[in-house]
Amino acid sequence: MNVLVFDTEEQIGVAAGYYMCGQVLQKPDSVLGLATGSTPLKAYGHMVSLYKQGAVDFSKVTTFNLDEYCHLDVKDKNSYHTFMYENLFNHINIPDENINFLNGNAWDLEAECKNYENRIKAAGGIDIQLLGIGSNGHIAFNEPADAFQRWSHVVALKQSTIEDNSRFFDSIDEVPTHAITMGIGSIMQAKRILIIALGTKKAKAIKQLIDGNVTPECPASVLQFHTDVTLMLDRDAASLL
């Protein structure tokens, strides 16, 4: 694994933004796997600024987001749709029809999961997957469990994740209890993976990701088996290494 440690969140945002845009410069019709949460915000900001400078063109890019809450209106301020449009898609030139999300309001969620996997395959697979990591080691909404879930699926969120995410909602009772997420197999099939982690809260999960046992109790640990993983960490997230 390629572990890069930076002094500030700003530096990580610049480095990660260049990394993602570098992929698009090399292959203009790249398929990007994208993440939500506070972690990638600065990276998206830098992607927008490179686009505004004319340094990169997203017109042929396709995106697949990792996950979405179930039974939350996509127009809700806390939906991952809203997050992605506000922080990235509204500011760059990815055609709307190239933007893919799991639909957490689909009538048949199982069919939706199968369909999403087929769409990723039809697009030629994900060239680069951007990931954050949960304080409990989750990636996307693959929560600690007894077994790795291979493909896209519906999950009941762990209490720790509900608590982590409650900061965005008016009260913890408003946090959805279920989500629809790409699976570990879907993520592992990405050709390259970029993980960003910020803060001491992530240090334990990062330590386990890098040199702990590979176990579904820390879903991110499976990334030890991927051949092209880059981690961009601040000093706090790297503090246990």
Do 132 and 165 meet the contact criterion of CB atoms below 8 Å apart?
A: no
The Cα 45–Cα 76 span in angstroms is 22
Q: Is 143 a catalytic residue?
A: yes
Q: Measured from the CB of residue 140, what is the shortest distance to ligand PGA in angstroms?
A: 7
Q: Is 136 a catalytic residue?
A: yes
The Cα 211–Cα 75 span in angstroms is 40
The Cα 38–Cα 35 span in angstroms is 10
Asked if 37 touches ligand PGA (CB under 6 A), the answer is: yes
Q: Is 138 a catalytic residue?
A: yes
Q: Measured from the CB of residue 39, what is the shortest distance to ligand PGA in angstroms?
A: 3
What region, left, alpha or beta, does residue 72 occupy, with left being phi > 0 and alpha being psi -120 to 50 degrees?
beta
x-marked contacts with ligand PGA along 62-101 as a string, rule CB under 6 A: ----------------------------------------
Residue nearest to ligand PGA (CB): 37
Structure tokens at 143: 């929560």
Query: Residue 99 or residue 206: which is nearer to ligand PGA going by CB?
Result: 206
Asked if 33 touches ligand PGA (CB under 6 A), the answer is: no
Q: What is the DSSP string of 11-24?
A: HHHHHHHHHHHHHH
DSSP 124: T
Query: Residue 43 or residue 61: which is nearer to ligand PGA going by CB?
Result: 43
Binding segment (CB under 6 A) for ligand PGA, from list 34-42, 49-57, 108-116, 215-223:
34-42
- Give every strand in the sheet of 31-34, ordered side by side: 2-6, 229-234, 192-197, 128-131, 31-34, 62-65, 99-100
Query: Residue 38 or residue 93: which is nearer to ligand PGA going by CB?
Result: 38
Among 13, 17, 134, 137, binds ligand PGA (CB under 6 A): 134
The one catalytic residue in 67, 127, 164, 234 is 67
The Cα 25–Cα 63 span in angstroms is 15
Among 13, 17, 33, 132, binds ligand PGA (CB under 6 A): 132
Which residues make up the interface to ligand PGA (CB under 6 A)? Answer: 37-39, 132-134
**Catalytic residue positions?**
67, 136, 138, 143
